[in-house]
């Protein structure tokens, strides 16, 4: 119990200290004498990215990084999102110098309580971009004026509402401007044989099981319907007294559920969507089982469209704004809560924490050109017009991803390609991919409370499961909309929702 109170106190301090942040102190000058020439052996424990290749021994990019920073870097990478492995390693006391972890998370809360992480403030002199991002975007992460890690400031602008463009063309339709038009498109995609195979085997809309939830953020296949009906935020709503309340108590939820239930009752939604993961959802879309889905585009745009063309050569995708509701509101996705979901920090095991801070700065800013392009004259050259010409054989020696994509250290650790809208000149449909981000940004809704309370993390699974069950029971007609919402609200609140909302309301009063 005592440990729990310490954790809670530390985390509440984290979120309450928005106004208390420190400026960086100048870095001490370089040491004189032989010791200054000795590189510091620095270990980095992090999560990889499925799109990246692993590091190779004798990597020339790492050698250049070592030379610039005066370190001898060892990277220990776990598979993408294998955060439990990092947590087990740290819990066992095998601390690296620098570590990344999903954020906000109970693990980071515990590390703060156990004083495992060192403040970056004293080393802002070698990390000016880190300082700038934290002080401009993430003041609320400070604990007593100290920043204990760099928060990935990813935009998340790469989630779009997608249509089968060949189906639209065949049926002489355009992406829906309104909910009424969207319903008509769903009917056409379901009933008018859009793929021309002479069978009644297609549906309007599909989704996936992992995108239904409500705590601490709404993650919902059909979120665009609630935004169309006037839902303002991506996490909560405000009741008549101005108090934070669950989003399903907003009038937009009841209106949206009635609309969705109408689609379901007409058999316009793919009936097994709840069994899909992202891969299966995209496969069904490509195979013509459904004509509309929400999915990740940007660097995935060409991949998704290629899936479609592999089945239907004349096929394609179109991305568009979410349909507008009665008052003209629309949206598709939610802003990332608490940053982009990753914290990179220097641990107490680091004997030269300035070197750890310099590595984070390198990955964030100063080394991006090297990590994305490589070494000029080796990994790339420039033609007379200044256009990059990639030397793929040389890049392959250092495990750059092919076709102009980046070095392993550029992916998923501190920043992703989306952070800087990075796409190599060789990327197919590069301009369309960037346009998908423009559309996604236009359709992104903010959160009412941009920070995460400790109980949101602790109770997420319990409260999400309750929400999911009632959401599906309402959609499938097992319980009426109004009756289902009333029962959902009562059970959700009694199983910890009210306790969680009390913390969230405290945070809301501080950050609003």
pLDDT in tens, 350-382: 999 999 999 999 999 999 999 999 999 999 999
- Per-residue model confidence (pLDDT) at position 19: 31
* Mean pLDDT value across residues 105-133: 94
* Mean pLDDT value across residues 174-196: 97
Instruction: Check whether 343 has a pLDDT greater than 70.
Output: yes
Do 324 and 415 sit in the same domain of this protein?
no
Name which of 282, 306, 286 is nearest 294 in CA terms: 282
Do 300 and 367 sit in the same domain of this protein?
no
- Per the structure, the complete domain to which residue 322 belongs is given by 159-334+443-453
Instruction: Check whether 204 has a pLDDT greater than 90.
Output: yes
Do 220 and 324 sit in the same domain of this protein?
yes
pLDDT class for 156, splitting at 50, 70, 90?
low
- Per-residue model confidence (pLDDT) at position 176: 98
Do 121 and 270 sit in the same domain of this protein?
no
Do 349 and 251 sit in the same domain of this protein?
no
Q: Does some domain include residue 86? A: yes
The pTM for the full model equals 0.73
State the Cα–Cα distance between residues 109 and 502, nearest whole angstrom.
19
State the Cα–Cα distance between residues 259 and 180, nearest whole angstrom.
10
State the Cα–Cα distance between residues 252 and 331, nearest whole angstrom.
13
Do 19 and 131 sit in the same domain of this protein?
yes
Do 31 and 138 sit in the same domain of this protein?
yes
- Per-residue model confidence (pLDDT) at position 3: 40
pLDDT class for 338, splitting at 50, 70, 90?
low
Between the two ends of the chain, the Cα-to-Cα distance in Å is: 32
Do 202 and 238 sit in the same domain of this protein?
yes
Q: Does some domain include residue 356? A: yes
Q: Does some domain include residue 489? A: no
Domains in the chain, number: 2
Q: How far is CA 68 from the centre of its chain?
A: 31
Q: Does some domain include residue 294? A: yes
Place of tokens 């995108």: 211
Q: What is the DSSP letter of 269?
A: B
> 507: part of which helix (H) or strand (E)?
helix 498-511
Q: Does some domain include residue 3? A: no
Q: Does some domain include residue 109? A: yes
Q: What is the CATH number of the domain that holds 90?
A: 3.40.190.10
Q: Which residues contact 494 (CB under 8 A, 6 or more apart)?
A: none
Q: Please say whether the beta carbons of 382 and 389 come within 8 A.
A: yes
What count of other Cβ atoms lies within 10 Å of the Cβ of residue 139? Answer: 16
Helices 454-475 and 481-492 cross at an angle (nearest 10°) of 160
**Buried/exposed 172-188: b ≥16 CB within 10 Å, e otherwise:** ebebbeebeebbebbeb
State the Cα–Cα distance between residues 91 and 70, nearest whole angstrom.
29
- Per-residue model confidence (pLDDT) at position 51: 72
- Per-residue model confidence (pLDDT) at position 154: 55
Peptide bond into 216 cis (omega under 30): yes
Q: Please say whether the beta carbons of 405 and 51 come within 8 A.
A: yes
Q: What is the DSSP letter of 149?
A: S
Q: Which residues contact 183 (CB under 8 A, 6 or more apart)?
A: 259, 262, 263, 268
Do 150 and 71 sit in the same domain of this protein?
yes
Do 168 and 305 sit in the same domain of this protein?
yes
- Per-residue model confidence (pLDDT) at position 27: 42
- Per-residue model confidence (pLDDT) at position 210: 66
In the chain, what percentage of residues exceed pLDDT 70? 88
Q: Please say whether the beta carbons of 398 and 379 come within 8 A.
A: yes
Kindly state the tokens that stand for 33: 């004498």
Q: Please say whether the beta carbons of 276 and 210 come within 8 A.
A: no
* Mean pLDDT value across residues 69-95: 92
- Per-residue model confidence (pLDDT) at position 227: 96
- Per-residue model confidence (pLDDT) at position 14: 38
Average pLDDT, the chain: 88
Do 76 and 169 sit in the same domain of this protein?
no
Do 132 and 180 sit in the same domain of this protein?
no
- Per-residue model confidence (pLDDT) at position 31: 47
* Mean pLDDT value across residues 416-441: 85
- Per-residue model confidence (pLDDT) at position 105: 79
Q: Does some domain include residue 143? A: yes
Q: Please say whether the beta carbons of 456 and 504 come within 8 A.
A: yes
Last residue of a domain, one of 453, 476, 502: 453
């Amino acid at each position: 119990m005592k440990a729990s109170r310490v954790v809670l106190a530390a985390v509440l301090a984290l979120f309450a200290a928005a106004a208390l942040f420190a400026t960086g102190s100048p870095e001490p000058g370089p040491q004189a004498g032989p010791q200054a020439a000795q590189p510091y052996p620095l270990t980095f424990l992090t999560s990889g990215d499925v799109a990246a290749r692993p590091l190779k021994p004798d990597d020339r990019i790492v050698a250049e990084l070592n030379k610039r920073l005066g370190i001898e870097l060892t990277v220990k990478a776990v598979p993408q999102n294998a955060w439990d492995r990092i947590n087990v390693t740290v819990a066992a006391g095998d601390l690296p110098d620098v570590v990344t972890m999903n954020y906000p998370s109970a693990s980071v809360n515990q590390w703060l309580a156990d004083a495992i992480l060192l403040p970056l403030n004293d080393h802002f002199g070698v990390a000016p971009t880190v300082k700038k991002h934290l002080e401009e975007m993430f003041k609320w992460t400070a604990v007593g004026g100290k920043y204990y890690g760099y928060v990935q400031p990813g935009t998340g602008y790469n989630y779009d509402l997608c249509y089968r463009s060949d189906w639209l063309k065949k049926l002489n339709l355009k992406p829906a401007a309104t909910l009424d038009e969207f319903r008509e498109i769903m009917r056409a995609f379901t009933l008018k044989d859009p793929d021309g195979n002479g069978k009644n085997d297609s549906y309007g809309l599909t989704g996936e099981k992992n995108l239904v939830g409500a705590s601490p953020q709404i993650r919902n296949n059909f979120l665009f319907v609630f935004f169309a009906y006037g839902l303002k935020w991506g996490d909560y709503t405000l009741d008549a007294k101005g108090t934070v309340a669950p989003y399903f108590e907003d009038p937009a939820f009841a209106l949206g559920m009635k609309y969705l239930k109408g689609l379901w009752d007409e058999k316009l939604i793919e009936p097994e969507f709840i069994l899909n993961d992202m891969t299966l959802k995209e496969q069904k879309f490509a195979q013509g089982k459904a004509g509309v889905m929400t999915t990740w585009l940007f660097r995935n745009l060409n991949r998704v469209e290629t899936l479609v063309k592999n089945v239907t050569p004349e096929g394609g995708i179109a991305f568009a704004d979410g349909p507008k509701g009665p008052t003209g509101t629309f949206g598709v996705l939610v802003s990332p809560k608490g940053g982009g979901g990753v914290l990179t920090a220097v641990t107490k095991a680091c004997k030269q924490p300035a070197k750890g801070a310099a590595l984070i700065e390198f990955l964030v800013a100063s080394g991006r050109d090297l990590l994305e392009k490589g070494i000029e004259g080796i990994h790339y050259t420039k033609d007379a017009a200044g256009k990059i010409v990639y030397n793929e054989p040389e890049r392959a020696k250092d495990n750059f991803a092919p076709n102009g994509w980046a070095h392993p250290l550029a992916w998923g650790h501190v920043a992703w390609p989306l952070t800087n809208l990075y796409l190599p000149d060789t990327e197919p449909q590069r301009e369309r991919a960037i346009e998908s981000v423009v559309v996604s940004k236009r359709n992104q809704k903010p959160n009412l409370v941009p920070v995460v309370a400790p109980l949101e993390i602790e109770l997420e699974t319990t409260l999400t499961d309750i929400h999911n069950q009632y959401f599906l029971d309402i959609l499938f007609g097992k319980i009426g909309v109004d009756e289902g919402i009333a029962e959902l609200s009562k059970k959700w609140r009694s199983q910890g929702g009210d306790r969680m909302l009390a913390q969230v309301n405290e945070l809301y009063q501080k950050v609003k």
